[in-house]
Amino acid sequence: MGLIFIRTIIVFITLLIVMRLMGKRQIGEMQPYELVVTLIISELAGIPMSDPSIPLLYGVTAILTVFLLHQIVCLLDLHFKPVRAIVSGIPSVLLNKNGIDEKELKKNSLDVPDLIESLRTEGYFALDAVDYALYEAEGTFSALPKVNYQELQKSLPVILITEGKFDEKNLSFTRRDKDYYLALLKKRGVKQKDVLVMTIDGNGRVYLQEHGKKYQIIELKWEKTLW
Amino acid sequence: MVKTLISIFIALGVLVGASLFELYYVQKTFSLLTEVLFTLHDKTEAQTATIEDGTAVRQLWEEKKDSLQIWLPHTAIQEIDYQLYEAVGFICVRNYENALPKLEVVLGMCENVPETYSLRLKNIF
């Protein structure tokens, strides 16, 4: 029993560390320790139940140990802030009034298309439609939209450039070639390789952000709406 | 918070208490069995062991077996069961030569089994 007790503690802590290292993307809507409990509790209950040669007490001990650890982590999570940050993690501000925070994005193993996709699921299609976008500790997104955000997303923005590379498919939607956009970048003194993200909507509204710089909005004033 | 703390202390108390009891009970039971088996082994070596001696040891094992199964995997118990029954069988027909190695095996198992499931670093990993 003592062995099972210690072994369960080791497995619990190992899984918790692994889950925290894997990042929020693996979690879904649970806190890391809640996911660990969910992952191991069914196995703990199942094995002694199906194998009569293992004393049922082994399963009970392991389950009780998991319960004990869960309660301890819950308590620490609620009352000790530094422990909370270690065990559950803290929300990350991925997008602020200056645009995308690249550092935070990388820290959370995300890229720009991931962020745009997550914002879309929240109902925000333009990157400048929100003032702040947060990646919560349990792996969900939340955003604080601008007051007039509906006016900023009249047409669906598509990614033209991410990490300095053109998206050929989206480029064809705009009915303009690379040179057109390279000339636009050149005019603004921006090199293609320095572009973190460049999106464009059907009205020719461009969101451009260079690595480590504040984003800028460019209105291309096309004659007609393309999509 | 109070409720959580109470549940932590209760769970910890139950787990630590039960673990200590298991440690004590398994060690004590196997010590007793080893003692009895040594006596039977000596008698077998001297070729003076009788059916009654063998049956008495088997009976003691039967009594302890049920409670040991709560704490130890049943496969370990079954192995001792098998070897002991064979040894006693040989003693019953006064085949001491064959009974001795079997008793040696049982004695070795009585020493090894509690050690395998005791709280030691090598067993944890």
Nearest CA to CA, how far is A76 from chain B (Å)?
Answer: 10
Q: Using one digit for the tens of pLDDT, what is the confidence trace for A26-57? A: 666 778 888 888 888 878 777 777 777 788 88
Using CA atoms, how far apart are residues A212 and A190, in angstroms rounded to an integer? 13
Distance of CA B118 to the CA centre of its chain: 13
- How many cross-chain Cβ pairs, A to B, lie less than 8 Å apart? 64
CA distances from A137 to A32, A43, A71, A180, B100 (A): 9, 26, 19, 41, 65
**Which residues have CB under 8 Å from B74's CB, separation 6+?**
A52, A53, A54, A55
Element (H, E) at A194: none
Q: Are A91 and A135 in contact (CB under 8 A)?
A: yes
The nearest alpha carbon in chain A to B117 belongs to A3
The nearest alpha carbon in chain B to A58 belongs to B71
Instruction: Give yes or no: residues A76 and A13 share one domain.
Output: yes
Is the minimum CB–CB distance between B19 and chain A shorter than 8 Å? Answer: yes
DSSP lists the bridge partners of residue A208 as A198, A216
Q: Using one digit for the tens of pLDDT, what is the confidence trace for A141-197? A: 999 999 988 888 888 999 999 999 999 999 998 888 999 999 999 999 999 999 999
pTM of the model: 0.70
Q: What residues make up the domain containing A66? A: 2-87
CATH number at residue A141: 3.30.240.20
Instruction: Give yes or no: residues A49 and A23 share one domain.
Output: yes
Instruction: Give yes or no: residues A127 and A179 share one domain.
Output: no
| Residue of B15, B19, B72 with shortest CB distance to A55 | B72
pLDDT of residue A82: 85
Instruction: Give yes or no: residues A165 and A128 share one domain.
Output: no
**Which residues have CB under 8 Å from B33's CB, separation 6+?**
B60, B61, B64, B110
3-state secondary structure of B15: helix
Interface of B with A in 68-97 (CB under 8 A): 69-75
Q: What is the ipTM of this complex?
A: 0.78
Instruction: Give yes or no: residues A9 and A63 share one domain.
Output: yes
Domain boundaries, chain B: 26-124
**Residue that finishes a domain, picked among A153, A168, A194:** A153
Nearest CA to CA, how far is B113 from chain A (Å)?
Answer: 14
